[in-house]
Every structure is written in C-alpha cells, then in structure tokens.
C-alpha cells in the first residue's frame, strides 16, 4: 500500500514539473522585429496632400512619418519607432492614419499628379520634419490650453435656496392640535339660551 501511494506521488510530481517550464518557453517567444533599412543619411520625405502623413518615396516598402513616429508594415504587422533607423516596437493593430493613405500614392508621386490635379511635391529633410512636428505639438497644446468663450465668463456664485422645513413630531407622543370633535364636521353654533339657532 505504501509503495502504491509513493508511486502515485511520484507520478503527480513528474506530471506537474514540466508545466511551468513549458510556460516559460512560450513567454520567451516574442514578435520578431523588421530588418533594419540601411539608410546612408536621414531619409527625405514628402507630404501626401490632405492627409498629414509623410512618406519616404524612394523605398520599395512603405515607410511613413506621422504624429512623431516612424511607421512601417512588415510581415502583416505594424511597427513604429521615434528613430528612423532603430528602436522599432510592435504596434498592435493598424494605425489610424493609414486609412487616409491612398493605395496608389506611388503612381501619383511618379506622375506628379494627386487626385487628377498637378502635384508639385517638395522633399522635406529630416531636420525640417522634426521642426514641423514640434510646431504641431506646440499648436495642439496651445489649442487645448485656450479657454472657450463660455468658460471665460465669470460664473455666478450659487446661492443656496432656503428649503421648507417640516417639523416632525416626536415619536410616542400624541399629536397636539385641536380636539377630535373640532376637526370633524362643523357644529351649529349655540344660542345663549342653550338651544340651537336652527331650533324654535
């Protein structure tokens, strides 16, 4: 009996030990990062009209700058970094700006046309791009800090209105007031002679 109990304990121990080690292996497996792009100098960008999105036109792969981040899709996932050449991190989902980027923007760039009109795109160097981003950040913070006209008016202090107070009778004491018969139907007034005024 002791051998059977001891054997069962060893079996339970053998089964339970590998489970945490398997969990550690799955935690260590991460999302692979995209390969670096060998820029010899900071990339020049162009602004896609009406989108607020900058692109690097000379690359075969999509490479964007938006809201202070460099963005790139790779193997069906999105990655972003504050630096164009390092620091990439996985971004869960599709960035919101991407819906504003037309799929044929490269064709428009090559033909100097945008949505059927002439497009005189200008290249924006990396230092200029950083300055533009800083101005946008300052403008956004200025707009947020501005007080709206309805908020600028001084607000009237709220005066507490007097409330009607209801007196409560102490419990256990009868309600004071007129006697019961006075509260009932009105009685005929008595004449000085002891009879009712209505009687003769």
Question: Tokens 């007031």 map to which residue?
Answer: 177
SS3 187: coil
Enumerate the domain spans of the chain: 46-143
Q: What pLDDT score does 140 carry?
A: 85
Rounded Cα distance, 10 and 47, in Å:
68
* Residue 186 burial class via C-beta count within 10 angstroms: exposed 0-12, middle 13-18, buried 19 and up: exposed
Rounded Cα distance, 176 and 174, in Å:
6
Rounded Cα distance, 78 and 33, in Å:
10
CA end-to-end span of the chain, whole Å? 118
Q: What pLDDT score does 54 carry?
A: 97
CA 124, 125, 131, 134 dihedral sign is positive
Q: What pLDDT score does 176 carry?
A: 53
Phi, psi of 18 (to 5 degrees): -70, -20
* Residue 103 burial class via C-beta count within 10 angstroms: exposed 0-12, middle 13-18, buried 19 and up: exposed
Each of the 200 residues of the chain gets a pLDDT tens digit; together they read 666 666 666 555 556 555 444 444 434 456 788 888 888 899 999 999 999 999 999 898 899 999 999 999 999 999 999 999 999 999 999 999 999 999 889 999 999 999 889 999 899 998 999 898 899 888 888 888 875 655 555 555 554 455 545 555 555 555 555 545 545 444 544 444 544 444 44
CA 69, 74, 78, 79 dihedral sign is negative
């Amino acid at each position: 009996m002791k051998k059977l109990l001891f054997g069962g304990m060893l079996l339970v121990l053998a089964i339970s030990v590998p489970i945490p080690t398997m969990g550690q292996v799955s935690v260590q497996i991460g999302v692979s990062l995209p390969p670096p792009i060998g820029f010899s100098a900071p990339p020049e960008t162009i602004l896609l009209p009406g989108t607020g999105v900058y692109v690097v036109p000379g690359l075969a792969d999509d490479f964007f700058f938006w809201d202070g981040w460099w963005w790139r899709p790779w193997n069906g996932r999105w990655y972003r970094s504050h630096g164009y050449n390092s620091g990439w991190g996985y971004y869960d989902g599709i960035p919101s700006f991407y819906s504003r980027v037309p799929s044929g923007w490269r064709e428009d760039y090559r033909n100097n046309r945008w949505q059927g009109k002439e497009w005189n795109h200008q290249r924006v160097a990396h230092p200029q791009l950083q300055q533009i981003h800083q101005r946008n950040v300052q403008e956004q913070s200025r707009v947020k800090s501005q007080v709206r006209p309805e908020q600028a008016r001084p607000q009237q202090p709220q005066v507490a209105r007097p409330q009607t107070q209801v007196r409560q009778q102490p419990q256990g004491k009868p309600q004071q007031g007129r006697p019961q018969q006075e509260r009932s139907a009105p009685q005929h007034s008595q004449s000085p002679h002891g009879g009712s005024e209505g009687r003769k």
